[in-house]
Structure 1
């Protein structure tokens, strides 16, 4: 009897430790929320099913540079006490114009992404309902719109109640479900190790749409919104200059998790679909193609992961415009202000465009990710100037290695932005 009680207690304490570990995750959870949404999952599925593991090198580079940028933005906030856009406006020549361009560019890219997310998430929820209630198939359009409206209304209501810690806990739940879903799917369907190694050698698919996908990859994994919002989330967490080591660790863990979860999605799509010669152009193509290979359980898990990825992105994306505007104005985010409520309400209405007009959410997601790369060079250049200003950094010197990493990230972002322009010109 005692042994049973002891086992039950030890199981409970282990579960408590796991939950405690997950909930102890810092502002990096928002980085994962911004980065791995249905945009990222869509790009990985399309890439894995069409080109195998060929674009793994782009993902690795993007995540490496993302880790550096999260670290420097967080460090600047803790040392100087200032947030990013407020500092751009205050300390940089042309800073006001740069900050306004960044706000417009990021909000446009993220809201475009939100339309695709809502389209994909509503369609996935509809497909789950259709399995159990086949009668709704004849009312697909109406059901998808109804689902989109209900989901949007729930998230808007949650936004009006929430504070930083509340958002963080909700995101932790979604991100944990998403990560576990994709990893378990990976154990059932996986690519050859030789393909993974080959994917780390830089090459661009020489086919139509190859350049666009590379730009979309960078737009989704090296998202400017992730870095710019970090100072506000670091402050929201209550961290100070004493938490510099914790901030560094948080940035590294976030970058590693973004890479491993994204790579797992690409690997599942590659292992299941690439050798079958079945590229995915609609998210729901995964239903017909993945089920025969992986079975219903893997398929359900994968869809659950994709849905969690979408829902985990809705929160941060609805927050992004108010965050950037608050950052520009004062460096403080007030979630109870009238400005916050109006901007998030507008973003919610914007989110319903794809479900209402019935566009292909997959195509919309990939195009929207490309828009995210255009402000990236400005975001990198701005922080390089700030962190190398000894007066602002109060004697904290930025290492040569971090500066080399930032210069390489800047060159990489310029190349990808050029690539994105070329891809969009071909698309339109």
Structure 2
């Protein structure tokens, strides 16, 4: 009997752990997808240029950007779960129709620019394997559109999370490059920076690609679509932190791979495809191939996820149905918005002599600029007790939000000053 009594509590503990694990697995999705999709071609390009031009020196910018990602993605998820509304819908309710319209325009402009960057990455990645962009881009556009229009919510989510496994390629490429780990961790924790326009430009682009406007909208709307409840919030915080940390880790390995090879050899690159090609003679064909495969997988994941942010937001503003479980006939504005963003972005990239490099990097600078008004709106909503109730941001949390906004404003302001000068 004593043995049985001893076993019962152990069994109860195991059952409790199993229950918590299942609850966490059920919640996983919004944070992982929003975070990992930030490591898209525009992000990989930005990190590649940062590592190739400045070595390990600006890794601290990536660290601060990752912390900002955790802070505001956590807020976005909480706002969605507590209010049952997406970001644009809340802005319209809190600040009025005009402010909601401005926020929607800001988001759509940023999203179309970044979706163009995803297809530019698909074009560049496949061209490394000898496949023309005029084949790769249309096939990719049709594939992600069919996925979103034919699958139910959970099937789509599982496919996207499975696709995110491709990011392991960047970790492997970074290790194969043989970086100086001491210098890498020094650059991660000791802030130093050349006061030049190019350095500030790439630092601002790093902020814009890590904490992107589309991610703020997506994670909130997706949490609503997933039907998460307040009881799920503690698990959703784990989901958000995991996605954000993985985003930063992947970015870290991209930077160190390029710092250890391209920067040391003085090799200049213009985009992530260039980085993959340039890695081959310096780090071997395996590192180069892994980098290219990671680029294509990242582009496909982001090209599928990012337009959802636009589709959700347009429907929230207009009051239309917006859910992945809905059929096309029942949610035409949602699916048509998705298709239009995909189609326009793919066509822009397929234009003859389309400037893929400016599309990739400058779209992320635009993200940082357009990010500021959305963060200010989020701060106001987080402090609104009528909307957030018991989950209203405390004073310490509000101070953290303001500090993050100030950091991003400083980057954008410095870039503006240096451009004017």
- Number of residue pairs the alignment of both structures matches: 394
Q: What is the rounded CA distance, in whole Å, between the counterparts of 1:310 and 1:83 in structure 2?
A: 25
Q: Determine the structure 1 residue equivalent to 2:396.
A: 401
Most deviating of 366-375 and 284-293: 284-293
Q: What is the rounded CA distance, in whole Å, between the counterparts of 1:23 and 1:107 in structure 2?
A: 30
Q: Which runs of 5+ in 1 are unaligned?
A: 1-17, 131-142
Q: What is the rounded CA distance, in whole Å, between the counterparts of 1:275 and 1:414 in structure 2?
A: 32
Look up the SS of the partner of 2:190 in the other structure: coil
Equivalent residues of 1:291, 1:299 under 8 A apart: yes
Alpha-carbon shift at residue 347 of structure 1 (Å): 1.6
Instruction: Say if 1:385 and 1:367 are closer, same or farther in 2 by CA, change over 3 A.
Output: same
Q: Determine the structure 2 residue equivalent to 1:76.
A: 79
Q: What is the rounded CA distance, in whole Å, between the counterparts of 1:420 and 1:323 in structure 2?
A: 32
Q: What is the rounded CA distance, in whole Å, between the counterparts of 1:251 and 1:259 in structure 2?
A: 12
Equivalent residues of 1:30, 1:226 under 8 A apart: no
Q: What is the rounded CA distance, in whole Å, between the counterparts of 1:69 and 1:331 in structure 2?
A: 26
Look up the SS of the partner of 2:386 in the other structure: coil
Q: Determine the structure 2 residue equivalent to 1:389.
A: 384
Does structure 1 residue 328 correspond to structure 2 residue 317?
A: yes
Alpha-carbon shift at residue 229 of structure 1 (Å): 2.0
Alpha-carbon shift at residue 46 of structure 1 (Å): 0.7
Alpha-carbon shift at residue 409 of structure 1 (Å): 1.1
Does structure 1 residue 350 correspond to structure 2 residue 344?
A: yes
Look up the SS of the partner of 2:388 in the other structure: coil
Q: Determine the structure 1 residue equivalent to 2:193.
A: 204
Most deviating of 260-269 and 199-208: 199-208
Q: Determine the structure 2 residue equivalent to 1:11.
A: none
Does structure 1 residue 260 correspond to structure 2 residue 249?
A: yes
Q: Determine the structure 1 residue equivalent to 2:412.
A: 417
Q: Determine the structure 2 residue equivalent to 1:338.
A: 332
Instruction: Say if 1:229 and 1:284 are closer, same or farther in 2 by CA, change over 3 A.
Output: closer
Q: Determine the structure 2 residue equivalent to 1:193.
A: 181
Q: What is the rounded CA distance, in whole Å, between the counterparts of 1:339 and 1:402 in structure 2?
A: 36
Q: Which runs of 5+ in 2 are unaligned?
A: 1-20
Q: 2:164 aligns with which of 165, 168, 175?
A: 175
Pairs within 5 Å for 1:12-27: 25-27=28-30
Q: What is the rounded CA distance, in whole Å, between the counterparts of 1:185 and 1:232 in structure 2?
A: 34
Most deviating of 185-194 and 51-60: 185-194
Q: 2:172 aligns with which of 184, 191, 197?
A: 184
Instruction: Say if 1:302 and 1:287 are closer, same or farther in 2 by CA, change over 3 A.
Output: closer
Normalization by structure 2: what TM-score? 0.86
Equivalent residues of 1:190, 1:270 under 8 A apart: no
Does structure 1 residue 303 correspond to structure 2 residue 292?
A: yes
Q: 1:41 aligns with which of 40, 44, 54?
A: 44
Alpha-carbon shift at residue 21 of structure 1 (Å): 9.0
Equivalent residues of 2:110, 2:370 under 8 A apart: no
Normalization by structure 1: what TM-score? 0.85
Equivalent residues of 1:224, 1:379 under 8 A apart: yes
Q: What is the rounded CA distance, in whole Å, between the counterparts of 1:364 and 1:41 in structure 2?
A: 13
Q: What is the rounded CA distance, in whole Å, between the counterparts of 1:385 and 1:225 in structure 2?
A: 19
Equivalent residues of 2:379, 2:398 under 8 A apart: yes
Q: 1:63 aligns with which of 19, 44, 66?
A: 66
CA distances 1:164-212 after superposition (whole Å, capped 9, x unpaired): 323322221221112x101111221143233221343223334452222
Q: Determine the structure 1 residue equivalent to 2:370.
A: 375
Q: Determine the structure 1 residue equivalent to 2:93.
A: 90
Alpha-carbon shift at residue 73 of structure 1 (Å): 1.7
Does structure 1 residue 102 correspond to structure 2 residue 103?
A: yes
Instruction: Say if 1:296 and 1:328 are closer, same or farther in 2 by CA, change over 3 A.
Output: same
Alpha-carbon shift at residue 49 of structure 1 (Å): 0.7
Q: What is the rounded CA distance, in whole Å, between the counterparts of 1:395 and 1:280 in structure 2?
A: 50
